[in-house]
């Protein structure tokens, strides 16, 4: 299992101070961007989460604890966000991007970085404008498509059927604005 965070777009409400209370001097990593945390199984599925505010060790821990089994081998980068949370799992291996280390045997972040690349290219090239309040919907769509890709043996027909299963029991209605 790989876990990582990325930052996208611009926040609607830009914070004036950091989580420690000091004012922002520079942009910093994700200071004025929307925070996203994703978990991906190698050769399997992905789950992405829009995080309100800045990503903290507590939010990452909460996401990991509710979505990942404790007997999992966790792969992350050297970020301090994962230090405490990683101790709860069978094994926690990291790569040090700061030292230009991107892979060490089976320890790498290539799967999740590939997913982020697909997401960001799709958002910039196809959708272009996405308000922060709707980001969770876009993440759900990209997760759906990634989890039903050809590499997993899912064809277009099955993907379409899975999409249509999602509307069962739901009904869209039109409410007239002048109706009481």
Report the share of the chain in percent with pLDDT over 70.
Answer: 88
The predicted pLDDT at position 61 comes to 93
Has residue 124 been placed in a domain?
A: yes
- Please report whether residue 174 resides in a domain: no
Query: Is residue 8 domain-resident?
Result: yes
- Residue 26 is predicted with a pLDDT of 61
More confident residue, 160 or 129: 160
Predicted pLDDT at 144 = 95
- Residue 120 clears pLDDT 90, i.e. is over it: yes
- Which CATH number characterizes residue 61's domain? 3.30.420
Going by C-alpha positions, the residue among 52, 28, 16 that lies closest to residue 135 is: 52
Residues 130-154 have a mean pLDDT of 92
pLDDT band, very low/low/confident/very high, at 24 (cuts 50, 70, 90): low
- Any domain includes 106: yes
Q: What pLDDT sits at residue 126?
A: 86
* Per-residue pLDDT at 169: 86
pLDDT of residue 179: 60
The whole-number pLDDT of residue 172 equals 76
**Does 178 fall in a domain?**
no
Q: How far is CA 65 from the centre of its chain?
A: 15
Residue 27's pLDDT band, with cuts at 50, 70 and 90, is: low
- Residue 172 in domain: no
pLDDT mean over 157-165: 92
Q: What's the mean pLDDT in 134-150?
A: 94
Long-range contacts at 85-90 (CB < 8 A, ≥ 24 apart): 85/57, 85/60, 85/61, 88/64
> Do the Cβ atoms of 144 and 35 come closer than 8 Å?
no
Half-sphere exposure of 124 (CA within 13 A, CB side): 9
pLDDT band at 122 (very low <50, low <70, confident <90, very high): very high
Residue 170 lies in a domain: no
The answer to whether residue 179 sits within a structural domain is no
Torsion of CA 17, 21, 27, 30, to 10 degrees: -100
78-96 pLDDT, tens digit each: 999 998 888 889 999 999 9
Number of domains present in the structure of the chain: 1
Select the more confidently predicted residue: 27 or 76.
76
Residues spanned by the domain of 150: 2-165
pLDDT at position 23 over 90? no
């Amino acid at each position: 299992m790989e876990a990582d965070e990325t930052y996208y777009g611009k926040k609607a409400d830009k914070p004036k101070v950091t989580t420690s209370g000091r004012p922002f001097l520079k942009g910093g990593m994700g200071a004025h961007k929307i925070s996203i945390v994703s978990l991906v199984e190698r050769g399997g599925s992905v789950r992405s989460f829009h995080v309100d505010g800045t990503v903290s060790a507590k939010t990452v821990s909460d996401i990991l604890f509710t979505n990942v089994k404790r007997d999992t081998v966790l792969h992350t980068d050297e970020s301090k966000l994962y230090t405490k949370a990683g101790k709860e799992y069978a094994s926690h291996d990291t790569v040090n991007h700061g030292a230009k280390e991107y892979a060490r045997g089976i320890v790498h972040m290539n799967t999740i970085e590939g997913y982020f690349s697909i997401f960001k290219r799709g958002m910039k090239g196809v959708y272009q404008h996405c308000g922060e309040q709707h980001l969770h919907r876009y993440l759900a769509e990209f997760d759906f498509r990634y989890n039903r890709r050809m590499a997993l043996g899912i064809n277009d027909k099955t993907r379409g059927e899975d999409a249509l299963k999602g509307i069962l029991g739901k009904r869209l209605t039109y409410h007239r604005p002048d109706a009481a």
